[in-house]
Chains A and B, each alone.
Chain A
Amino acid sequence: DVRLVESGGGLVQPGGSLRLSCAASGFTFSDYWMHWVRQVPGKGLVWVSRIDSDGNSITYAEAVKGRFTISRDNAKNTLFLQMKSLRAEDTALYYCARTQYGSNPFRSGFDIWGQGTTVTVSS
């Protein structure tokens, strides 16, 4: 059964840090590019970051660039999102998602999603 399970969310003060994890199972994790997507309750989906299968090609949304770091451990089938200098506007449900396998992973959709982990930034 193909599955993604996020963890690591919680309540953090503005300026604080948090590390999210996404455990993958049921597929060869090292073959797939991965993404983080966030969603404020009642609002739309917002893409956050992408990492390729080897961790060599990484890109971020402008809103998080310089504060968030995406990484992966293929030996442990786990994706990470290190978040620093957190702001109230980073409060959201954070999903990890798998890039659909295809000839061009840049333009491929996200076919498998986790259930998300909630990050709340508040004093």
Chain B
Amino acid sequence: SYVVTQPPSVSVAPGQTATITCGGNNIGGETVHWYQQKPGQAPVLVVYDDRLRPSGIPERFSGSNSGNTATLIISRVEAGDEADYYCLVWDRNNDRYVFGAGTMVTVL
């Protein structure tokens, strides 16, 4: 089955840029979605189709996908961005869906 890999944690100072990766074999040929989940809350879609933002999501959230790595970038990080972030990919060979293990973003 398709496997995606995320770093367990990322720490960033307020106002700086957080970069969260999602690695997978030729993931650039797939479509990646990103979710933010705060404690006690349901996940929220922050980037879909590699780089698009749903309405209501700040422009500070952006995404890219190429080669073996998809990336979620949070610019000008705020305290409210502290959360777990998950990538999601469709495993086309098995018709199943795969979440990354999640990255905890800590705002210093």
Instruction: Tell me the A residues contacting B by CB distance below 8 Å.
Output: 35, 37, 44-47, 50, 59-62, 95, 100, 102, 104, 106-111, 113-116
Instruction: Tell me the B residues contacting A by CB distance below 8 Å.
Output: 1, 30-31, 33, 35, 37, 42-45, 48-49, 54, 84, 86, 88, 90, 92, 95-102
By the criterion CB–CB under 8 Å, are B92 and A45 in contact?
no
B1 proximity list for chain A (CB < 8 A)? 62
Given contacts A110-B33, A110-B45, contact A44 B86 (CB under 8 A): yes
Complex Cα spacing A50 to B54, Å: 22
A45 proximity list for chain B (CB < 8 A)? 35, 37, 43, 86, 88, 99, 102
Q: How many A-B residue pairs have CB under 8 A?
A: 62
Given contacts A45-B43, A95-B42, A116-B42, contact A109 B96 (CB under 8 A): no
Complex Cα spacing A107 to B88, Å: 10
Given contacts A100-B48, A107-B30, contact A35 B99 (CB under 8 A): no
By the criterion CB–CB under 8 Å, are A111 and B48 in contact?
yes
By the criterion CB–CB under 8 Å, are B92 and A106 in contact?
yes
A104 proximity list for chain B (CB < 8 A)? 31
A115 proximity list for chain B (CB < 8 A)? 42
Chain B residue with Cβ nearest A35:
B97
28 example contacts (A-B, Cβ-Cβ < 8 A) are as follows A37-B99, A44-B84, A45-B37, A45-B43, A45-B86, A45-B99, A45-B102, A46-B99, A47-B98, A61-B96, A95-B42, A95-B43, A100-B45, A104-B31, A106-B90, A106-B92, A106-B95, A107-B30, A108-B48, A109-B45, A109-B49, A109-B88, A110-B88, A111-B48, A113-B44, A114-B42, A115-B42, A116-B42
